[in-house]
Chain A
Amino acid sequence: MLDDAPQPLVQVRDLKMHFPIYAGLLRRRTGAVKAVDGVSFDIMAGETLGLVGESGCGKSTVGRALLRLYAPTAGTVVIDGEDVATLSPEALRKKRPTMQMVFQDPQASLNPRMTLAAIIGEPLDEHTGWNAEKKLARVYELMDQVGLNRAFAGRYPHEFSGGQRQRIGIARALALNPKFIVCDEPIAALDVSIQAQVVNLLEDLQERLGLTYLFISHDLSMVRHIADRVAVMYLGQIAELSPRDALYARPLHPYAQALLSAVPEADPAREATRRRIILQGDVPSPANPPLGCNFCTRCPKVFDRCRVEEPKLTEVEPGRFVACHLVTDNMTGGHRPAGAEAPEHKQQGEVT
């Protein structure tokens, strides 16, 4: 990775993805599921940005909207200098080779009637005018890269195990020499002993080919291993975006704190002494998010202002962005010690 002024390869600004809800006799539009509601971040060239959150928080939708597998409702997604969100269909098609995706379920994302060579070679059919010989040579090269035996080229997906299928999916994503790959829960469907194999492969490829990843996952310990920076999403918005080590050492947003404290650790001694923040209740519906901060219904440190005013994602320390009144107040207040418990009711009066 370059140390001097890394350039952002991906710049996302105020991305919104709302899915309309139709109801009633006339199927009128009655509302929208705000799956992603105003998300902004950059991904530097050669970097891995981890995107974590619970199911339904919109992390996969972000990944899909970035590659314009969904047409975003609003916002811009600049990838390598072009705004993908507004490209014309023809220009978008030309853009596709630079941005690819690895899907969660390798079983569902591979066509069962196509051979391995046909699956990996399909992007080449679509985007290059190469002859069969040249294409096969490239398919073999890709199979070598992801550690699949060339002898398997004529086999079908069902003949492979989950880990091998994920390698097929990765080879397909690499076929057109992309710069940017969205990995949407690439290891969630795999056994623990196989997960490490796939993660190591992704890291090797990144190093060798200079790839940039958006790594979407709910596995916080794996994200700590693979990501350089981590964005924590909750209910369609980014709660905290921080460099990896800073986030895991000292999460600032109350949701990030709760999420990290809930991850069980394979160490009985530490498990016995850890203090867990147990969140009450469930995530509200994204069709009807709460007023103010979207985490205010479950936040253990909630105070009055959280229920009326939506916090903005603000840089509170160099490179650390947090959307929380408690944290930003501490920062602007200056002399208030960071991490102090909220003086529940006084807080608001003091600031104004």
Chain B
Amino acid sequence: MPDGAMPVLDVRGLKTVFRTRGGEIHAVNSVSFSLRAGELLGVVGESGSGKSVTMMSLIGLLPSPPAEVRAGQVMLGGRDLLHIPPHELQDVRGAKVGFVFQDPMTSLNPVFTVGSQIMEPLMRHMGLTRAQAADRAAELLALVGIPDAKKRLKSYPHQFSGGMRQRVMIAIALACDPDVLIADEPTTALDVTIQAQIIELVKDLRQKLGMAIIWITHDLGVIAGIADRVMVMYGGQVVEQAPVAELFANPRHPYTRALLKTIPSLTGERGARLQTIEGQPPIMMGEPVACPFRARCAHRFDRCDAENPARRPVDGAPVGQGHDVACHWNPEGA
């Protein structure tokens, strides 16, 4: 990936809060990251870690109330998406940023044909006529590997299988040639052999179209095969961020280390017992004042209870560009 290139998307200090009857839940807490052109950023975390909420916050997809994006800056194409009027944000969604959701059945409208759903963004954002949009929609369907594309435009979502529906979702997301594609657990609902098809498709499309991709998942295996850089989230915060090979070879955060050990391997030595991370992920009530992982951490000491660790560089590069970690524990003492 081109280093030092201008980031396509730059997020600084994003904070999202949900107001509930029980108090405020700090779902996203000072998340910063940037995405370079053509790069694939993997975002890993368990449910409730804030990975999806972060991405939904970027483009104003969260219902408000209860959600409130309280602070931060989201720069895309020279504009701060958090401070532009709603109608301009609508021009961004679907045109500059494409979104693929986890469950292709619930994110497609069952009463419209697949064709009309692909044509909608084309006519809305690119001003194509119905006939032009239909031609382009057929091209897109063929691009994502659906045979007999022209005919299939007239089919309804229920006439497609799960993997095919996810291909349709990708076609919709790609329709307006976005700068950024956000894929939120796009293969989680699919079987492994179908997941392999979709991953191959995305790798292929990336080469052809060169867009930047954010791929959210809880599956470290998927990340290992597809990402350039990985961001690990826990309790609404980025706890570690590194190039993919570096993260797997040299994980620094106790959570990342433990997570890599809990998954059994498909090859190699088979351990007698699985390593576990005892306890539960936290519910982020109130402003975090301590490390969110401290209750489950094997290396906890006094400072972890007193101060929420900031991200610090591991390899000398500035935070966000090389390998960084948010942890007080420092085995090397560097």
Is A259's CB within 8 Å of the partner chain B? Answer: yes
Q: Assess whether A278 is in contact with B197, with CB atoms less than 8 Å apart.
A: yes
Task: List, in ascending order, chain B residues with CB within 8 A of A308's CB.
Answer: none
Q: Assess whether A262 is in contact with B266, with CB atoms less than 8 Å apart.
A: no
Q: Assess whether A222 is in contact with B225, with CB atoms less than 8 Å apart.
A: no
- Cα of A194 to Cα of B263 in the assembled complex, Å: 11
CB-contact partner of B196 in A161, A163, A276, A282, under 8 A: A276
- Shortest beta-carbon distance, A162 to chain B, in Å? 9
- Cα of A278 to Cα of B225 in the assembled complex, Å: 15
Task: List, in ascending order, chain A residues with CB within 8 A of B281's CB.
Answer: 191, 193
Task: List, in ascending order, chain A residues with CB within 8 A of B275's CB.
Answer: 196
Is B47's CB within 8 Å of the partner chain A? Answer: yes
Interface residues in B147-167 (C-beta closer than 8 Å to A):
161, 163-164
Q: Assess whether A220 is in contact with B276, with CB atoms less than 8 Å apart.
A: no
Q: Assess whether B245 is in contact with A224, with CB atoms less than 8 Å apart.
A: no
Task: List, in ascending order, chain A residues with CB within 8 A of B225's CB.
Answer: 264-265, 268, 271-272
- Cα of A197 to Cα of B273 in the assembled complex, Å: 10
Q: Assess whether B218 is in contact with A264, with CB atoms less than 8 Å apart.
A: no
Q: Assess whether B224 is in contact with A225, with CB atoms less than 8 Å apart.
A: no
Q: Assess whether A278 is in contact with B263, with CB atoms less than 8 Å apart.
A: no
Residue of A nearest to B245 (CB): A268
Task: List, in ascending order, chain A residues with CB within 8 A of B195's CB.
Answer: 262, 264
Interface residues in A261-316 (C-beta closer than 8 Å to B):
261-272, 276, 278-279, 282
Is B277's CB within 8 Å of the partner chain A? Answer: yes
Task: List, in ascending order, chain A residues with CB within 8 A of B218's CB.
Answer: 191-192
Residue of B nearest to A274 (CB): B225
Interface size classification for chain A: 35 or more
Task: List, in ascending order, chain A residues with CB within 8 A of B222's CB.
Answer: 264
Q: Assess whether A199 is in contact with B220, with CB atoms less than 8 Å apart.
A: no
- Given A192-B259, A193-B276, A248-B266, A258–B248 Cβ distance below 8 Å? no
- Shortest beta-carbon distance, A186 to chain B, in Å? 14
Is B307's CB within 8 Å of the partner chain A? Answer: no
Question: Chain A interface: which of B186-194, B206-214, B325-333?
Answer: B186-194
- Shortest beta-carbon distance, A53 to chain B, in Å? 9
Residue of A nearest to B48 (CB): A191
Task: List, in ascending order, chain B residues with CB within 8 A of A270's CB.
Answer: 267
Q: Assess whether B220 is in contact with A279, with CB atoms less than 8 Å apart.
A: no
Is B264's CB within 8 Å of the partner chain A? Answer: yes
| A contact residues vs B (CB 8 Å cutoff) | 54-55, 161, 163, 191-197, 199-200, 203, 218, 220-222, 224-225, 248, 258-272, 276, 278-279, 282
